[in-house]
Amino acid sequence: MTCDPRHALSEKDGALCIEQVPLNQIASQFGTPCYVYSAATLRTQYQQLAQALSPMNARIHYSVKANSNLSILALFKDLGAGFDIVSGGELSRVLTVGGDPADVIFSGVGKSVEEIDLALKVGIGCFNVESHGELSRIEARAQLAQVRAPVSIRVNPNVDAKTHPYISTGLKSNKFGVDAASALTLYGHAASSRTLYITGVDCHIGSQIADDGPLLEALDSILELVDSLEERGISLEHINLGGGFGVRYQDEVAMDLDAYGARLQQRLGSRSNLLCVEPGRSLTANAGLLLTQVEYLKTAQDGSKGFAVVDAAMNDLLRPSLYQAWHDVVVVNPPDKTTLAQTWDIVGPICESSDFLAKDRQLSLDEESLIAILSSGAYGMSLASNYNTRGRAAEVLVDGTEVKCIRRRETIQDQLRFELPL
């Protein structure tokens, strides 16, 4: 049995527990598949980052897309976080938990008229503007609403974040942000507008970044731009460096946040701008796991390995299929010692060969096995779908000895109610 304090897992009286609660008890009470989160880990991750940034005038905006459950948002709000959002839907979630819209940063390349109108109406803290067209649209909508729109330009510094290509966002070839020269032009326009007001500059170069080198390289080019703006009489309230701090899934070394904080401080020197960051994964990934039950065991026709067909699938946790992501696998109730370990693929019931949660794992399993797929707290449930008309999993939050269902399992009625009869 693996005990891993990284995930708030430990063994008590022979049972694998998250915080104080046995995982098999959670499975019996709420069924499987089920996402389970540790409130203590969420708090610790937040506080460690806050501590690393504390020597500076800094603010954490939790990136809602990583895990947008209302209870998780409420937990971060109570810890003092602002939010980073990418849709009107995410904005509504933040408002639902009583988040202050002034503490919300609206990112994303494709903000619709409706989303911009909603953000202006509630008094969004800042739009991270990603193109000339978007700046014009925000200006026009703000004029119509007779309000002023707070804007910050997202700069793409052309820095390689050295991460999976699907989650790399800071290269010239990516759709995000604008280059520094275009940013100067956009700032010039915003400065001369009576409807727009400039709040800051923004940059996010990717996700699951292993070391802070690329982040600091991006900061250097942002600071050059900040200085050029100062020379033109444009001063910024904040510098937003985005998220992307890498975590440990397998054998990676998680980014050293204290060292990063110290290097940021050194680079920022005596500047008075507020420093903003937008972490998602680093706050939630290792705070969550996906509990799933084995349905059947079968052997590959070539005899090379076994397939453990479980009740969770790629619709519940897409990361392995989409990014070839690794998630550690733990058997919650190992069979007796006579069952030998062998090589298993953990696969779901979906009709695709890409439907796997883990490949080639040495495990002792039987058909009663309850399995935990670790490090699933970020981009797990938020990427889930109803593919194969599967209801999405339940979500449970554990806090010490307390267990709370924070999203009930979807029923077939939930899915069918959107569809209209012929």
User: Closest separation between CB of residue 16 and ligand LLP, Å?
Assistant: 25
Q: Which residue has the tokens 């900040």?
A: 226
- Here's the x/- map for ligand LLP, 169-198, by CB under 6 A: it reads as ------------------------------
CA atoms of 324 and 331, how far apart (whole Å): 21
Nearer to ligand LLP, 193 or 382 (CB): 382
By C-beta, is 107 or 156 nearer to ligand LLP? 107
Largest CA distance in the chain: 76
What is the residue whose two structure tokens read 């039950």? 293
Minimum Å gap between C-beta 299 and ligand LLP is 31
Q: Which is nearer to ligand LLP, 66 or 153 (CB)?
A: 66
Residue 359 CA from chain centroid, whole number:
24
Establish if 84 lies at the interface with ligand LLP (CB under 6 A). Answer: yes
Q: Is 345 exposed, middle or buried (0-12, 13-18, 19+ CB in 10 A)?
A: middle
Residue among 174 and 265 whose Cβ is closer to ligand LLP:
174
Binding mask 130-149 for ligand LLP (x = CB under 6 A): --------------------
Which of 203, 276, 351, 405 is an active site residue? Answer: 351
d(CA 87, CA 101): 13
Contact status: 127 vs ligand LLP (CB under 6 A): no
Region of 180-188, 217-225, 273-281, 348-356 interacting with ligand LLP (CB under 6 A): 273-281
Q: Is 126 a catalytic residue?
A: no
Binding-site member from 131, 156, 195, 207 for ligand LLP (CB under 6 A):
207
167 binds ligand LLP (CB under 6 A): yes
Q: How far is the CB of 279 from ligand LLP (least distance, A)?
A: 4
Q: What DSSP string describes 272-334?
A: -PEEEE--SHHHHGGGEEEEEEEEEEEE-TTSS-EEEEES--TTT--HHHHH-----EEESS-
Q: Could you say whether residue 278 binds ligand LLP (CB under 6 A)?
A: yes
The answer to whether the beta carbons of residues 45 and 284 sit under 8 Å apart is yes
Residue type at 337 in one-letter notation: K
Nearer to ligand LLP, 26 or 180 (CB): 180
Cis bond upstream, residue 320 (ω within 30): no
Task: Single out the residue of 322, 318, 312, 326 nearest to residue 359, CA to CA.
Answer: 326
* 204 near ligand LLP (CB under 6 A): yes
Q: What is the dihedral of CA 117, 120, 125, 130, to 10 degrees?
A: 40
Question: What is the distance between the alpha carbons of residues 191 and 25, in angstroms, rounded to a whole number?
Answer: 59
Q: What are phi and psi of 404, to 5 degrees?
A: -130, 135
Instruction: Please report whether residue 323 would count as binding ligand LLP according to CB under 6 A.
Output: yes
Q: Report in angstroms how near the CB of residue 245 gets to ligand LLP at its nearest.
A: 6
Length of the chain: 422
CA distance 311 to 357: 11
Quickly tell me which residue has 């267990």 as its tokens: 403
Binding to ligand LLP by CB under 6 A, coded x per residue (else -) over 223-252, reads -------------------xxxx-------
Q: For residue 376, give the DSSP letter.
A: -
Query: Which one of 66, 119, 142, 190 is in contact with ligand LLP (CB under 6 A)?
Result: 66
Measured from the CB atom, is 99 or 280 closer to ligand LLP? 280
Q: Which is nearer to ligand LLP, 88 or 306 (CB)?
A: 88
Question: Which range of residues in 10-18, 192-200, 277-285, 363-371 is near ligand LLP by CB under 6 A?
Answer: 277-285
- Catalytic residue numbers read 351
Q: What residues line the site for ligand LLP (CB under 6 A)?
A: 63, 66, 84, 107, 167, 204, 207-208, 242-245, 278-282, 319, 323, 379, 383
